[in-house]
Structure 1
Amino acid sequence: MHTDAVRALSDWTVADDRQERLRLDYLDHLADRPDGLWRACLPAHITASAVVVDPSAGRVLLTLHPKVGRWLQMGGHCEPGDTTLAAAALREATEESGIAGLELLGVDGRPVPVKLDRHQVRCAGKDRPENTHLDVQYVAVAPAGAEALISEESLDLRWFAYDALPEPTDPSVRDLVTLARELTA
């Protein structure tokens, strides 16, 4: 999986200078840390996520995250059974949304990231120090009219119109939804 993560980030053409700096930071992290994809890698590790959209209905599926208390895209930690970053993002999106048949946006049949986001979290527990998630974000397209099924990982799970995102929603999630909307229009 480490090789795939390096390939995915190396091959990805970024949108702007900020994303390019993050991409290079993520690659440096992976070069320095063979364990850089796993939750046990501290103080930072790679995570994978996907914003689930239904372009035919102009809507996005968000989860109210129990630890963060905000509406977020689906995502989380890479697991040993994941063979690629894209597979980790798709697994997380499918588990957390309950929707079968999600497809990640890609180029030439290969899923590609659309955005990177570095943020502080307390994923090791509330009594442990914060660490950094180096999130690699994808867009997952749901079948038209898909119905979501809440998982134990969510306080709430709902579809929202692109222009009617709930509060509190992180600005990085709003940017990701805008990008997904543009890419699937």
Structure 2
Amino acid sequence: MTHEPSDQTEELDAVYRKHSRELWAIFYSQCSDRERAYDAVQESFLRLHAYSGEPIRDVRAWLLRVGQNWLRDVARRKSSKPTASLDEMPNSTGEPNNFLLSEENRTSIRQALQQMLEDDRRVLVMKYALDWSSIQMSKVMDCSPAAIDMRLSRARRRLAEILEEQGYSHG
């Protein structure tokens, strides 16, 4: 970010327009609380605005890490897990896979996602709701693309198991 106040404001606005919705979706997938996800986005951008350290190579990854750390800190302070339902999660504008076509299927998948570990849920949301590559996810989750591929494979398998246990069958 530049040091001129007006340039910095314009840059921050552009970064906000580019990344805020995506950040909110990821944070929401982690905490299942609309307001807390919005607060995490705002906190991330406030910290970006105040940041004066080394140049940031990947602003999106930096914002995600800041927001995720903030969410963890809030959860630790509250010392309780979120109770809101993933059923409230807005549908993605893009439908990366055909099996998500009906609302019934989306509801079944959201219910199954609620039962999954946070990291499994995160990789599935990043891959299928946000259409991220393994490389993009690896930057955010601080691991190799190969590790992301392995996590995705395990998460998909676990999701299939949960859906099968619920009697869901994809024809």
TM-score (norm 2): 0.26
- Kindly indicate whether structure 1 or structure 2 has the higher relative contact order, using CA contacts under 8 Å at least 6 residues apart: 1
For the pair shown, the structure with the greater C-alpha radius of gyration is 2
Higher normalized strand content (fraction of residues): 1
Higher normalized helix content (fraction of residues): 2
